[in-house]
A and B are shown apart, each in its own frame.
Chain A
């Protein structure tokens, strides 16, 4: 069963606007971690932000913030003030319980930032 769902295969956003990328997850383990990675056209995987299941506050890293709604099992990424360099594929991923060596990924969302 799919554990990470990203329902937006692609989206366009204008430069300087904010964009929200959706991610829902499925787990019965009370201990888990949620990650967002960026993959530009060059192919590397770039870590953006992390949210632990026990964290009380939403994670933020510069222009990236994670809207964590635990009861709804969603972990949406918000990119504020989009830049042309934000054009990339974005992946949501989850680690469950003690299996910290294993990540489960969603299918990704392709973001294109237009001038």
Chain B
């Protein structure tokens, strides 16, 4: 079982560059989310999606774009990378049933220099 797959695992960007973090799940989950984790803090929600074609902003959406054209994929785009976006990024998916947990990818460690 692949579960939630994130690529790449590590990335270094220069300030101003753009890139896309990939996230794919093979569990046919309706919900997918992106979080960032900074030192000393819990995970903070960037964007989420409740189904293909539907996305919404989370707590810290600035500087990031998402789209969801298929149930399986939920890429996160950094439009113009800034050092403040240095973080570990997690993608998660969950079914719409109330009493089920979110399944997380392995994370992407991003450094912006």
Q: Which of A31, A35, A43 contacts B101 (CB 8 A)?
A: A35
A40 at the interface (CB under 8 A from B): no
Across the interface, do A102 and B48 meet the contact criterion of CB distance under 8 Å?
Answer: yes
Across the interface, do A47 and B101 meet the contact criterion of CB distance under 8 Å?
Answer: yes
Across the interface, do A102 and B45 meet the contact criterion of CB distance under 8 Å?
Answer: yes
Interchain Cβ contacts under 8 Å between A and B, 7 examples: A91-B42, A93-B42, A103-B33, A103-B35, A104-B45, A105-B35, A107-B41
B99 at the interface (CB under 8 A from A): yes
Report which B residues bind A (CB closer than 8 A): 30-33, 35, 40-45, 48-50, 58, 88, 90, 92, 94, 96-104, 106-107
Knowing A44-B106, A91-B42, A91-B43 touch, does A102 contact B58 (C-beta < 8 A)? yes
Across the interface, do A100 and B90 meet the contact criterion of CB distance under 8 Å?
Answer: no
A50 at the interface (CB under 8 A from B): yes
Across the interface, do A44 and B32 meet the contact criterion of CB distance under 8 Å?
Answer: no
Name the residue of chain B whose CB is nearest to the CB of A44: B106
Across the interface, do B42 and A107 meet the contact criterion of CB distance under 8 Å?
Answer: yes
Name the residue of chain A whose CB is nearest to the CB of B107: A43
Q: Which of A31, A52, A100, A108 contacts B42 (CB 8 A)?
A: A108
* B residues less than 8 Å from A101 (CB atoms): 30-33, 48-50, 94
Q: Which of A4, A37, A43 contacts B106 (CB 8 A)?
A: A43
Across the interface, do A100 and B43 meet the contact criterion of CB distance under 8 Å?
Answer: no
* A residues less than 8 Å from B44 (CB atoms): 105
Across the interface, do B31 and A52 meet the contact criterion of CB distance under 8 Å?
Answer: no
* A residues less than 8 Å from B42 (CB atoms): 4, 6, 91, 93, 105-108
